[in-house]
Structure 1
Amino acid sequence: MRKPFLRVHALRLRNCWKLILGVTLLATAVAALCQRHDLLRMRDAELSAYDNGLTLFTRGRPRSGEVVIVGIDDKALQGIRDNPRYTRNYGVYPYSRNLWALVFEHLMDQGARAIVFDGVMDERGTDEGNDAALVQVVETRRVPLTLGFSVNAGQPALPPVTPANRLPGTVLPSSPEVVSEDPFGFPEEETPTAPPPGEVAQALAFPVRHPGLTLPPLAHDPRDGGPRLSLHPVPPLPGLLRVTPGFGLVWMEADRDGRLRRTRFVYSDGANTYVTLAVAAVADLLGAEHVELTPGRLKLGARELPINPDGSAELDFGGPWQERFEALSVYAVLEDWARRQEHRERGTPYVPVLPEDTFKGKVVIVGGLSVGTGDVKATPFQSEAPGVVKHAVALEALLSGRFITEAPFWVSLLLTAAVAFFSVALLTLVRAPLLELLWPLALYFGFFLLPGMFLARGIHVLSAMPIYAGEFACLSAVAFNHMFANRERERLRESFNRFLDKTLVDQLVEQQRLPSLEGETREITAFFSDIRGFSSFSERFKDDPKALVALLNRYLTRVSSVLMAHGACLDKYIGDAVVCLFGAPLDLADHAVRACHAALAVRTEVDSLRAELRKEGLPDVYTRMGLNSGEMFVGNFGSEHLLDYTAIGDGMNLAARLEGANKAYDTVILIGPRTYALAHAHIEARELDRVRVAGKAEVVTVYELLARRGELSSARKATVARYAQALAFYREARFAEAVRVLEDALAADAEDGPSRVLLARCQHYVSHPPAMPFEGVTNLEK
């Protein structure tokens, strides 16, 4: 049996070797062309494969023993705001610079090896004495500080200079002595004059040797929108420019999808060369007088690292940043300083906030961790990470780790040809229908697995290009898949044409992941709407039911058209009520955003219809809406006589309750907490209340949806801000203060329903105080 089997395949090989070779060469050439010119979104696919390989195979790198992060987190923002002494001396974020003077000094006292500040200080503070205090500490304590600087298109170009690295400990001309009488405050100093451009360039530029390598320009990338503009450094504060030993460029260097994956080390503005923040810091730590950058190598003093031929390198995150780095709050540093100070001055028992060796011998990078205190970017491991993480990862790699480097292109090209050859030879010679189906699937999974085996060793081999070539060589299997999928497409068309827009049905049947009509759990957004007072509304037509049907059909048609245009799946009509789903059966990653935008569009459409009906003397169709997102079970439900595609679960119930809750708050659109969390970056909304719906013990926060992001008027914003202030007073049981704020709000905007409702509630509690502790939760009975 074995010989006939081999003979058959030998004959096939003899008959098909030209085809196999030709398809291999063509597939390799097409894949290489797609890679070079980004056809078929191959670079996006490569980034996706790279991210998956990184997260699957490189997680678990050891926790950094070199770098510690001290950040402005929520604890710091809240702690300083709630401490009158801290607020008096440092203000609220952004804090006055005497806070950084204290933090830097305390870090030095605790043995920090160096301090890297992920931020810029290029604008004078309101109290220049605080700026002077920071300058004094950096100068007198010889702080090994590396400070960030930014670049701007509107900034004048700096003159070319011959740069030299000013290492920490360099003796500088002394400044007038500033004596501190209060450890929390510093006297003022005369305003320093702006240094000449040459001095600025001398401080910011860095000596770089780069034979055989063209440095990337400091310029705005046109892919980010707008023309290509040259960028120039923004000078830091004059005092800091004189005493700070190191300056580094603060630039996020995100890929075109917004994720942080790679870094460059040196940039040029045509006149001078500038290094990034991490490079500047490590150069000082290693005593490097210059940076040497050649294709494939980076040298800082005695340390030499492999990099990419173009002078870049991929960042080895090694896992979520919380697993890689110890992160401490600025507030903890302040409290530790305060306790030590009190112990020294008053002899009180010393209970440390931080262990003695927390910062000893460590490089401390200081930056923003809380939203609003710094850039928030995505990494391959996390959709949201503070920008300081990029600098921390680069510091760790430069000090004791490594970067991930790209394999030579010929290696990836050879792998591409091998995958294409094996794929076409396997399917051509074996000719098994099941294999024609399974092998493309195996290639698809290889798309995620292939880069990981190399990435674990610090090498990035292109994986999208080999997989594209392999799939091209599997056209016979693709044809088989196409025929197999026809029956599924027709079944889906029949099932969903009734309640999905036709274009969405076409999109649904073309997506790779087909929905399960038997039922599945997925996160979606449910939408409920209802006409206010429909019972009274319908009584007007008790003698003319045809007119009621015509009006109701007119209303439902207008509303449904808007919803379906935004991607909704119509679930059902319950009289005048409309129920629909976003995110099922069509998988929509932005289902919450679509639902919110659809609700706002429905509100506009209904307002237009109401105006038309008033002119015609017909009843009002004022509509309230409720939206909620969550995990729900979706599929065909019913009996053998009637099936309906719908969703069930607590998420649906809450959406319906939110629609009804509009009446209690005199609002139009209420959304649940998960919907707000998913869509808040694209909408204007305000937190309305914490409620407990009927039949549930759980407390949920509800929000009023107001407008698309950026479309809220300034007057409305003022009303929302006053309401937020009053709500905070209300939750603290400061009802009289809340009443005053709400009265001011209603004086400016008498039509704001939530303010009226909360005012009535606060006035009631002023005269009838509630039991303490006050829960601040509203029970909704309907």
Structure 2
Amino acid sequence: MKRSLLFAGIIAVAVAAVASISYAGGWLAGVELPLRNWMVKLNGPARDLSNIWQYSLITLLGFATAWITITSARRHGIALLVLAVIAELLTLTWVLSLYHIFFAPLSCILAVILGYGGALLYLVIAGRKRAGIPLSLFNGKLSSTQITRLRAGEVEFDGNPRAFETSVVVCDLANKYDLADTDEPGVVAKASERFTARAAELLRDAGAYLHAADGEGVVAVFGFPGALEDHAEKAVRAAFDLARAFAENSSGSNGQDATAGAHVGVSSGSMITAPTEEKQDIFVLGEPIELARRFCVANRFYGSQILIGPRTFELANNAIVARPIDFLSGVNAQERHEIYEPLAFTADAPSELVARRDS
């Protein structure tokens, strides 16, 4: 966001300089003369619009065009918007002539065109800089919306090893091992495959990076490749969506391929990520994955559907209502992590539940 704003500002300064010089130097006066004569013929003599307004419009239009082009994921639509702005500027010339003021539109039109062209040039250059990191790395791991934002430069990812503050969601079939004991392998495999595909789809659509999706469950990361301030809240919300989706699936199965829903674990913390040397995959390393797996499995023992760790609870505490459950050992035997069961989002929770939390 800040980077896009910076480059939009740089483009706007360059565009404003060129368009303002062309206006001050009268470079476009000859082209505008027929338009001026026509306006005089239609509405009578007119004085020129104040230079302050003229230069202000040039700068504003140059910046606005560059900013919208850089930040928009639909650039074909921006081209139509540019044409619409040009038409509006010509209309403004006619409207002001009714009040005997002549507005020279060509310098502003030039600012719009240069702002649009400069933004497209920036995007091409930025895309080449990212060319060493193939976006195919993210196929199937991010939603199409996220890949579009990544391609547009709205999500900054240079491929260098770095640490991200993330929240990891791990989910698995609640009754997977019971199914393995009672049903044929084909039935278990089919149920697991269906669960994995649906869970992966829900997590991608929620904005997560899909790290793994196999018979051992689904692992998704919020806060990568684009940093998120509210990654913990988004992760917990996705956990509720998963639990709700598979509870509905279970209740609507009519005993055919019934599942006991989903178990979900959420853990937050720092993760190190980088493309592998062959640039065929993304390398992800961090304690949150291991802890989220443990929290997911722990649901079987506590009769819960969702368990979150202390860091997730700390980050999302204002947005959720949760109750403490127990302490679990961490990656090191000496570590003890308090786990919580989120009950509801504050906005959806009964008032007495929120009051009990805040008391």
- Partners of 2:211 and 2:246 in 1: how far apart? 20
- Partners of 1:662 and 1:621 in 2: how far apart? 12
The corresponding residue for 1:598 is 238
Change (3 A) 1:30 1:538: farther
How many residues end up aligned between the 2 structures?
272
- Partners of 1:550 and 1:665 in 2: how far apart? 27
Change (3 A) 1:496 1:23: farther
Secondary structure of 2:22's counterpart equals helix
The corresponding residue for 2:274 is 635
- Aligned mate of 1:483, from 99, 111, 124: 124
Residue 23 of structure 1: how far off its partner (Å):
6.8
- Aligned mate of 2:198, from 553, 558, 561: 558
Change (3 A) 1:27 1:584: farther
The corresponding residue for 1:578 is 218
The corresponding residue for 1:507 is 149
Matches within 5 A, 1:84-233: none
- Partners of 1:689 and 1:626 in 2: how far apart? 14
Equivalent AA in structure 1 for residue 292 of structure 2: A
The corresponding residue for 1:611 is 251
Summarize deviations over 1:88-131 as a string: whole Å, max 9, x none: xxxxxxxxxxxxxxxxxxxxxxxxxxxxxxxxxxxxxxxxxxxx
Residue 698 of structure 1: how far off its partner (Å):
3.1
Q: Gapped runs of 5+ residues in structure 1?
A: 1-16, 42-423, 425-468, 726-782
- Partners of 2:236 and 2:62 in 1: how far apart? 38
The corresponding residue for 1:569 is 209
Equivalent AA in structure 1 for residue 122 of structure 2: N
- Partners of 1:576 and 1:18 in 2: how far apart? 60
2:307 corresponds to 1:670? yes
Change (3 A) 1:551 1:656: closer
Residue 523 of structure 1: how far off its partner (Å):
0.4
Check the 8 A contact 2:265/2:306 in 1, yes or no: yes
Check the 8 A contact 1:499/1:569 in 2, yes or no: yes
- Partners of 2:132 and 2:145 in 1: how far apart? 15
Summarize deviations over 1:269-304 as a string: whole Å, max 9, x none: xxxxxxxxxxxxxxxxxxxxxxxxxxxxxxxxxxxx
Residue 526 of structure 1: how far off its partner (Å):
0.6
> How many percent identity over aligned positions?
23
Change (3 A) 1:498 1:702: same
Secondary structure of 1:681's counterpart equals coil
More helix by percentage: 2
Change (3 A) 1:688 1:535: closer
Residue 512 of structure 1: how far off its partner (Å):
4.6
- Aligned mate of 2:346, from 709, 723, 730: 709
Check the 8 A contact 1:633/1:648 in 2, yes or no: yes
- Aligned mate of 1:700, from 331, 337, 341: 337
Matches within 5 A, 1:484-563: 484-487=125-128, 488=130, 492-512=134-154, 514-542=156-184, 545=186, 547-563=187-203
Matches within 5 A, 1:164-563: 478-487=119-128, 488=130, 492-512=134-154, 514-542=156-184, 545=186, 547-563=187-203
- Partners of 1:550 and 1:523 in 2: how far apart? 35
CA RMSD of aligned residues (A): 3.8
Equivalent AA in structure 1 for residue 123 of structure 2: H
The corresponding residue for 2:295 is 658
Change (3 A) 1:694 1:594: closer
Secondary structure of 2:347's counterpart equals coil
Equivalent AA in structure 1 for residue 124 of structure 2: M
Residue 597 of structure 1: how far off its partner (Å):
0.6
Equivalent AA in structure 2 for residue 662 of structure 1: N
TM-score by length of 1: 0.31
Change (3 A) 1:680 1:572: same
The corresponding residue for 2:259 is 620
- Partners of 1:592 and 1:509 in 2: how far apart? 25
Summarize deviations over 1:680-727 as a string: whole Å, max 9, x none: 222222233444335242333322111122323467669x76xx99xx
The corresponding residue for 1:729 is none
- Partners of 2:18 and 2:159 in 1: how far apart? 46
- Aligned mate of 1:685, from 322, 325, 342: 322
Kindly name which structure, 1 or 2, has the bigger radius of gyration based on alpha carbons: 1
2:22 corresponds to 1:22? yes
- Partners of 1:493 and 1:520 in 2: how far apart? 18
Summarize deviations over 1:409-450 as a string: whole Å, max 9, x none: xxxxxxxxxxxxxxx9xxxxxxxxxxxxxxxxxxxxxxxxxx
Residue 480 of structure 1: how far off its partner (Å):
3.3
- Partners of 1:28 and 1:481 in 2: how far apart? 24
- Partners of 1:624 and 1:593 in 2: how far apart? 18
Change (3 A) 1:636 1:680: same
Residue 508 of structure 1: how far off its partner (Å):
2.0
Secondary structure of 1:616's counterpart equals coil
Secondary structure of 1:631's counterpart equals strand
Summarize deviations over 1:162-203 as a string: whole Å, max 9, x none: xxxxxxxxxxxxxxxxxxxxxxxxxxxxxxxxxxxxxxxxxx
Residue 624 of structure 1: how far off its partner (Å):
1.3
- Partners of 2:229 and 2:113 in 1: how far apart? 28
Change (3 A) 1:716 1:514: closer
Change (3 A) 1:482 1:23: farther
Secondary structure of 1:711's counterpart equals coil
